[in-house]
Homo-oligomer: A and B are copies of this chain.
Amino acid sequence: MTSLRERKKARTRADLQRHALRLFRANGYAATTVDEIAAAAEVSRATFFRYFPSKEDLVRYDDVDPLMEAAFAAQPAGTPLFDAVRNALRDTFAGLGPEKRALEEVRMELARTVPELAENKQFSLAGIAARIATATGRDVVELDVQLCAGAMIGARLAARSLSQ
C-alpha cells in the first residue's frame, strides 16, 4: 500500500517533469532554467535536484520505456523483427491514457531534438542493435545486426523528416 509520503513524492516528480516538458516545448530546452521549472512546479530549486540529478535527466527519465521493453519481449517468437518493433510501440502507446501519451510524445521529441540529449540510449544504434541481437539470438557485433539497426534509424529519421 502506498503511503501519503510516497504518493506526494510521485506527484512532485510527475509535476516537475510535466511542467518542465511544457516549458521546454513552449520556450525551448536551453532557454528554460531550472529555477523556472521549480517555480512552475511550486517547489524549491534544491528539491528539483533531489528528484533529478540534472536537467538532462528530467528528460531522460522515462517510466514508459520498461513497458516498451516488456511489450517487445512479449511478441511471439517467430514475429519478424520490424513487425515486433512496430507492434511493441503500438501496444505500449495503446494502453497509456491520453495525457500520459501526449507527455511521452513531447519527451521523445525532445530526446531526439535537443543536442545535449542526442545520445539517449533508447534511440541509439547500440540500443537497437542490442535488442535485435537478443531477439534473434545473434551477436551484437555481427555486421548485419548493426546494419539492420542502422537502417532502422535511417528509416525513422527519414520518416520523421518528411512528417516535418
Tell me, yes or no, whether A161 is within 8 Å of chain B by CB. yes
Contact of A154 among B141, B143, B153 (CB under 8 A): B153
Copies of this chain present: 2
Distance, CA A150 to CA B150, complexed state (A): 9
Known: A151-B151, A153-B153. Contact between A158 and B125, CB under 8 A? Answer: yes
A155 beta carbon closer than 8 Å to chain B = yes
A126 contacts the other chain (CB 8 A): yes
- Pick the residue among B115, B126, B156 that contacts A119 (CB under 8 A): B115
- Which residues of chain B are within 8 angstroms of A125 by Cβ–Cβ distance? 157-158, 161
B146 contacts A150, C-beta separation under 8 Å: no
Determine which of B116, B141, B155 lies in contact with A150 in the assembled complex, contact meaning CB atoms within 8 Å.
B155
The reply on A149 being an interface residue by CB < 8 A is yes
Q: How far is the CB of A44 from chain B (nearest CB, A)?
A: 27
Query: Shortest beta-carbon distance, A152 to chain B, in Å?
Result: 7
For chain A, the bracket of interface size reads 20 to 34
0/1 interface trace, chain A 24-39, chain B, CB 8 Å (1 if under):
0000000000000000
Q: Are A146 and B118 in contact (CB under 8 A)?
A: no
A154–B156 alpha-carbon span in the complex (Å) = 10
- The residue in chain B whose Cβ has the minimal distance to the Cβ of A113 is B119
Chain A window 41-63, contacts with chain B (Cβ cutoff 8 Å), 1 for yes, 0 for no = 00000000000000000000000
> Are B162 and A126 in contact, with the CB atoms below 8 A?
no
A-B contacts besides A116-B116, A126-B161, 8 pairs, CB < 8 Å:
A115-B119, A150-B154, A150-B155, A150-B161, A151-B154, A153-B153, A153-B154, A154-B155
